[in-house]
Structure 1
Amino acid sequence: MNKIKKTVTRNSLIILNGFRSIFSPLLSIIFSYIIVNYFSKALWGNFVEYVLFFLITNVICEWGNRSFLLRTFSENPKEMISNWQNLFLARTPIFFLTTISIVILFSWQLIPFLILWLLGIFIYNSILSITYYYRDYFISVIIEAFGFIIIISQLIIYQENLNLTILIRSYSIGIIFKMILSIIYYSKFFYFKSLKIKFKILKTSFPFFILGLTGFLHSKIDVYTYSLFHKGQPLGEYQIISGFFVFASSFISLLLFPFIKNFYRLKSNSILKLKKIIIRYGIFINLVIILIIHNVLRLGFQIYLSPIQISIGYLISFPPYVYTTHIYHLLKIKKENIVVKISLYSFLLNLVISLTLLYLDYNITGILLASAIAQFFCMIYALKFKIHEY
């Protein structure tokens, strides 16, 4: 009976985690759909320029927070609260420095809302490592849902006069709401015995920061490169396309990441078996996801991709099914430097090819092709490091 109960509990966690993994990206898709279809693609495109700024500032402020703490929590559960607080306090000066960039770069009427946006994602994302460790997937879904409802409610209220400023304000308030709910639920982590900042922990977590930064650039450089050539509506449309393909390529990582503490305990044979299962089912799963993306873009956003572009999309999103277990294994054996090299070289390759093909006016097809080439390079490089050799 106990065995059955454990199996049911484990399967429930897997299903709930799977739902949570796609829930946040799904809300982002719905949000972009609402703005594009009920307001304008141009408004969405202008909003995306701010989103791109906060994506990179979030990576900097996070400083490897999630990956570093999940390993630290797993290795030393008794010091969980103190380790979380130490890294949180050490990262606060980075947050304040980033707020200065907001004051310098943006217009005065947007600055208060942009600072709220930054504060919200800084604290909310800091708490996600705790959520993943405790596997509080249901709570995570509830908080995300309430935050989304707050944003949409404001869009309904201000729909007659919605402009970029109101959209940014609404989005910032939604993020702050999620932050407040998270602080309330995990309040014990905010009872600081000391406010002393221990900068040494930033040095310890630095490899995870570089890991996160290079991984981010590897997955998002196409949008940043595209933004150098296009603004407004074209940028908004490509951000939607790229977002779908990034979700498809990240799907397996999204499912596995909350269970990474278990992955660290697996033996090489178990990892190899897991890899074979992921690849076997990934061929079909990825095909289904790409077909869904094609139809959602066509029917929901009036964005029409050619058969060649859809095929390239499949090539972008399939390699992670092959190499993700290798990446996690390298993290397990503390070879973060290798993972950084893989992400960095893939990012640079993607950047050079993207710039070249955009300059030659290959537009969306060219930049998608650059992403596919970078993904295959990443796969080939990662497969060099055989799991059984470490």
Structure 2
Amino acid sequence: MRKIIRRSTVILQNSLYNLLLPAINILLASLVIRLTSKTLWGGFVDVLVVVQFTAQVAAWGNKEYLLRGFSRQPATMPHQWQAAFYPRLLIACPLILLADAKIFIWLLGLIIAASFDVLILYRKAFFYAIRVELIAALGVAIVIVARYQTLIVDDLITFFALAAWLKVILLGYRFRDVLGFT
């Protein structure tokens, strides 16, 4: 019975973690639209879609590939993660020529934060990851509420970029052994 409860808890936490980001984005969109305008959010969505899509492309296949590798050779997990991480960063590098610096910094933060997803899954650190997502979202929401009267698209890009880097810092701390900072 205890085993079933433990497995159910892991499944529930994983499901919650996977549903959390879309739910947060809906809530933040509603907040911006309610406090400012649909036009502001629409202008931001133009950037959001491109940045999120690019980050998604950079992460394709990463999780599945690394989970297999971690299962086969758990002792080499840090090396495997690092070997998969650096080439994915190269995907973002040409975009520095096309994107605004803030957008590039945001994209870089998203790619790095997404690279921790496999570690969250492998180590079943869902509860920690959920807290990180909530902290980052709460930070963005607080700043949106505090600055709603003067909010522009560039501000939203900055807030979302800072949230991505906050996630990088918090997840990097949690998985510092894989990063080589033990």
Structure-1-length-normalised TM-score: 0.44
Offset of 1:168 from its aligned partner? 1.2
User: In the alignment, which of 38, 41, 64 is matched to residue 38 of structure 2?
Assistant: 41
User: In the alignment, which of 138, 156, 176 is matched to residue 187 of structure 1?
Assistant: 176
Q: Does 2:131 match 1:126?
A: no
Contact 2:32 2:144 in 1 (8 A): no
User: In the alignment, which of 144, 152, 162 is matched to residue 155 of structure 1?
Assistant: 144
Structure 2 residue aligned with 1:101: 98
User: In the alignment, which of 58, 63, 66 is matched to residue 63 of structure 2?
Assistant: 66
| Mapped partners of 1:126, 1:92: distance in 2 | 10
| Mapped partners of 2:70, 2:160: distance in 1 | 32
User: In the alignment, which of 126, 131, 137 is matched to residue 142 of structure 1?
Assistant: 131
Structure 2 residue aligned with 1:10: 7
Offset of 1:78 from its aligned partner? 2.3
Which amino acid counterpart does residue 7 of structure 2 have in structure 1? R
Can you give the 5+ residue segments of structure 1 that lack an aligned partner in the other structure? 103-110, 193-390
SS of the residue corresponding to residue 98 of structure 2 reads: helix
Contact 1:63 1:91 in 2 (8 A): no
User: In the alignment, which of 161, 164, 173 is matched to residue 175 of structure 1?
Assistant: 164
Structure 2 residue aligned with 1:375: none
SS of the residue corresponding to residue 97 of structure 2 reads: helix
Report Cα offsets for 1:151-209 as digits up to 9, x if no partner.
112112211101111111111111111111111111112228xxxxxxxxxxxxxxxxx
Q: May I ask how many residue pairs the two structures share in their alignment?
A: 181
Offset of 1:63 from its aligned partner? 4.7
Report Cα offsets for 1:65-103 as digits up to 9, x if no partner.
22221222223222211111111122232222222221x
Contact 2:106 2:161 in 1 (8 A): yes
Say what the alpha-carbon RMSD is for the aligned residues: 1.7
Contact 1:43 1:164 in 2 (8 A): yes
Higher RCO, 1 or 2 (CA under 8 Å, sep at least 6)?
2
| Mapped partners of 2:107, 2:171: distance in 1 | 16
Identical aligned residues as a percent: 25
| Mapped partners of 1:36, 1:18: distance in 2 | 28
Contact 1:57 1:98 in 2 (8 A): no
| Mapped partners of 1:157, 1:113: distance in 2 | 21
- Higher Cα Rg, which structure: 1
| Mapped partners of 1:166, 1:159: distance in 2 | 10
